[in-house]
Structure 1
């Protein structure tokens, strides 16, 4: 009630004080000029009136008023009833009445305050004052408040010497460096006497002269202003500025031209894209950079289709990618596909240029080279590309191209497909119809390009495009936070597209130009189909665990790898040992993933059973158990079939792999029986044993495949290749495939044994994978949580861990 009465009485005073403080704190007082005394006086009078009215309206809260306010919120007004006295005596009815009132009084609660300000302030002036106060606290400052107070004081008592100052000359000056230098504007009046003024070249200097006695002279740059009271000029050279008896010695800092340098000569990727490294620098930052590509006409062999004078064509200008932020030192890479340009594979001169904020240009030495473009190995495809080049070189080559095209398409049976033959014959008709206009020439060039692609790649181009689209859709889904079902569907589509693309590459026999691929790496280091599948499995696992940022980074690396993929079928020496190990490993990996999913479903089924038992229900579990048992049995049968096709019989690693898989099969059989008996806990324990045995079998199989591949290469080259698992050049046992790091069990303890690793240099093979340790630890927790002989508290704790992770 105290707050209510104070708010009703003094809200106008609070609003006026908030507005006045906000005006001072935001610096809105000083610019008012002659109107300031009137406004300040009116505000002060309003404050006095509001304070007086508030003090007259405010009434102190008394105890009876507070009791009456509380009593009004209770039914029957019990507080008043308890203070009453009976007129006819204290009988049982009166005591019962008092007891009832006391019970009601005990239910009393604090009364919510209500000042009813919206009715008293219909224009919300109090809210305007609060908003102004908040804005002042955010954007204002003590400096603006001090200026306002000085302005108010000046209206009441002029400072000593104000009359003399008003009659003398006054001035203000500013120096604004160019925006690209990112330097602040200087206020010349605040500079110390005798200080040297250092300005970047091109800085804008401006003055404002008050009164008629101030004069300005300078010798640092040409005048730009026409108003004698507001002179302005640009700093171009060192010198001095004199204004009203004040001298500024100015040093103009020179702005050096930007520098740019190309890296190694441009390289061509397998898909024909040009890659050019460059470095650029500037004292204030590079604003833009370009690569200028011009035809090197004297270096061209002017024969055949290039003998005619070329049609005029503008140079190619490509913007170089520059980073955001600081651009004083820039390292970048230009990646551009110029395979379809008329100058592809012809001599050109590439010049890199950089520009700074004042249009100064730095230029690198021109590089003479053949413009990187796609190369065609199919003879007919190469012929079509050459005719396309001749047409784009000069439209006068149309008759010659028509003759060559007729010769190429003679007797097409078994040489040219029917649909392609029809397209080429249509091109012959267009070439022989008469002079080509630019639009017809470009359309014909595009048709020849598509025909050459079809001949060179067959369906490979479509498969590559499908794979790229699947990659882009999956990356976009990860970035946009799509649902797990949508991400899984896109991941399956990417697997199918990648399988189709790698299969077609393998059928083509790796016809890419290996010498032109900069991403090939060290000699003998190749990407195999198994390694591609392992990389995709790792992406899948990261997404299943919710580690989307890591999955996106690995997917980006996968995309870059697939752009320059060179797939070679694993053909071992003698009986093809490499291929013998690849298919079993892939099938085992699929079986292991299916067993892990089945174990997770068994764990969820056990949680549902425990929930039903807690609610007093005991039915409904036989059908689910039989379904899981049937799937477990089918998985066991599939593993048995794989064991019959397992390679390496008689070798140490092969026998070890068979033994581990036998144990996995027995564990699966026990898990199936436990599921049929309704013992979900026992089934989970045996499933964990099966998973562990399968992993050990896969490790042994991988060691066998790596050792056989190493021995085959050693027999072929006469020496042991470095960096491969197996034996060293001296015949001893090699170090751990994790570069000397010890193998650890799920609890972090050292253990012996190797692993099936990827040796293509990607991050999956660098060091011990912490995610693998986490996965093994999760399997161990799942196994222990399914053991009924463990204490209930321990199993509850393990269950909470599984729920969380």
Structure 2
């Protein structure tokens, strides 16, 4: 087949695809032929734009120029030899290869045979039309510009990277200085020329300017910018004239080859001489930072204080500090604060700055915990100071506000914290503080919830008195303050494990907070604590009921008892919170007292399946009895410890304490006999029975041995009983069973430690060990209950609850108290109080009566009637 025609009419529709295909082929062959030449040219341009020829000697520059020129010539010759210009036929063949059936080639063919046959001619024409349709869909193929095989070391990319760096950081004008390397270079090098750079202060974040590229006659520069100039050529041919530095005194020569100064004021900057230039400079001032307090300090529930502040600066705040000083004029100088305070430095804190983002204008919070500082909750002044990178400072005027810190709502804890503050205020208050602490510990009944808190205060008191007698140094002062802080935390948060005790503590703290006018956040935190303590107490009741064969199922309570579900308790606490949010603190406190009475008088029905119940229930009852006896021993040890400090102080105990022999102190003395006016039932020998039902014999001969020896023997017997109970536990090898055994082993070791302490007469150590034993016993009982629950088969709980009944002989009111005959705790509609919606209706009715009694527009007679209803119910 011959050559293709120049442009066949059949290929007119393929003009553009053919042209694009040919251009792509030209690009392919040009790139493969001339990429070495392009790389050499890019490297040479990058070197000139970066000014490498100004940094090297003339010899090295000329050598490099010769090498670059030879490389360029060689690359050019190589490229010309490898260059193959594509023809139209080659482009047509490339395009035809991309189409199925090679339609372009088919269009250029002619019918070889059968031209005189009409049928053959028609078939050929149909074939041509089909090929023309295919050719009309032709698209130019993409050129193959990959030359990795020809350039395995990617030298072309190295040259391209150098050129990009030169474009970013160099100057195209430096290429013109290459003329100095030509003929007459010696005279040209001595000719006057200059270079200059403008470098703003680093903290501004602005880039450095190449002064030769600045054509604007007016310049705006940040204050403190550095100007660097270099003069080349004959000395004195170029000189500097400027009024922007404000320099005085002995100045460098204006014709020096190296000039460097700082822009401090507006003025003129000029380079005088051949090729010189001048500018009018305006200075952008750097304002000092501004800072201010943005709100009042707030206290967080965890005791940390948050104080917002706002700061701004034109280039960003670099740092600062906060100084907190005591405001002596605002301090209430009474009680322990009446004495002259000990010298104390200001509180200095670093200014908190944003970790990320813009520091030119921001709002942040000073957050810190000052609860243990001597100035906690006292009036202070806050002074904020900020500085920028130029060391310019801005500060606020003293902002007066309290140094908010954690508040204590337990009265005794609050008293301890106040004495700690007075001690840190002045060491001269030590005697007064010791007297107050001795007063607090004189009659601990009703003051301390746990013996350990009382013992700790007595220990702190003895140390304080001994330190005061020897001279209270700052080290001893801080030691006593730390001990008082730990004691206050113990009194406020408590270290008891009993759920009911935690519930009472949460209720008392919330009630005290409402009376003290605590913040909304503090009340919300205490309310959440009350909810958690209530849930914990309900779980403990449920666990105890399951262990003792008792139930708390709705509908299984006796007819004459009130029943409260978890939803009812939740509704009551929601109502208390709603009243507090409305500011009705008196009503909220009354509702809280009602909730406390209901919780403390809550009872569960007793099982009637037999005296012993199941084996697991008997084990649980035995551990509960052991725990009760251990509590009695601990109380008796506490009473004996009190007599060491105050002999005879416990002859008659309050209703909340026990005698030495285990009986509750309802007028009883420590030997189990009746005190006061009642002498009935007094025994000199024989057996005496305590409140817990345990008999103690031979107390009449107690004088033959010390109380510690008697308690040690009873502690040993109790430890042996616990070992027997542990060996007979009906447990398998599960995780809860192992936890039960481990807890009881720990309790046994603690009992052994208590026994040794009692034998040595160390009641304080014995009480600590007994407290540890009781805590481990509680953990063991909890684990035992969970283990028994896992072993319990489905359906057992229902059968047990179905057999649960109440003692028919007792009648109780809704609060669990004895009820007179004729009142059976039922409503007029026959429904039991607390069952279904009856309790909610009664509560809603009470709230409606309170609301109407508060409405001033009602008549005095109606309001009086409503008030009498409230007083009655």
User: Could you state the TM-score of these two structures normalised by the residue count of structure 1?
Assistant: 0.48
Larger Rg: 2
User: Could you state the TM-score of these two structures normalised by the residue count of structure 2?
Assistant: 0.44
